[in-house]
Amino acid sequence: MRNKFYYCLTGLLLLIGCGNYTVDTRINDIWVVEKLNGKEINRKLFSKRRPYFELHLRDKTILGFLGCNQFSGKFKLDEKSLTIENDIVLTRLSCGNLQFENDLIKSILAIKFQYKIKSGKLLLLRDGHIILQAQKTD
């Protein structure tokens, strides 16, 4: 009787699972921003380098460059969604193009996105619309 109980319990746990999920590990990379809110970014606005961010799966951290200022923080990820937490650290240098930086931060913080990776591009979507498109880089 006891063995039958354990077999049933084991079978039930196998059917239910332990709540683990898999994520697309390709997201663990460096991404250069190409489009924001459907518009291509103007490369001429960025004299040094284009805005980018790095996602690190091991400790769920994000860090990046907005065009002049840098940022870092945490994110949450599951098999279909990515959320960049609202509590980030951000430098505040005096720069010429703060409007793009403000738009980028407002567009990505504390929003649960669906994410897709296709042909080396990371797409962050909300309600089926691409909010951010970034190209994988090394």
Condensed to tens digits (0 to 9), the pLDDT of residues 16-71 reads 445 555 889 999 999 999 999 999 998 888 877 899 999 999 999 999 999 999 99
Q: Is the dihedral of CA 15, 60, 56, 86 positive or negative?
A: positive
Which is nearest to 29 in space by CA: 53, 50, 58?
A: 53
Helix H or strand E segment including 76: strand 70-77
Q: Is 35 helix (H, G, I), strand (E, B) or coil?
A: strand
pLDDT value of position 12: 40
CATH architecture assignment, domain 21-137: Beta Barrel (2.40)
Range 78-90 average pLDDT: 93
Which is nearest to 54 in space by CA: 27, 29, 81, 85?
A: 29
Q: Is the pLDDT of residue 115 over 50?
A: yes
Cβ atoms of 85 and 110 within 8 Å: the answer is yes
- pTM score, whole prediction: 0.81
Cβ atoms of 83 and 126 within 8 Å: the answer is no
> Whole-angstrom Cα distance, residue 121 to residue 99?
24
Which ranges of the chain would DSSP assign to H, the alpha helix?
A: 2-16, 98-108
The residue count for the chain: 138
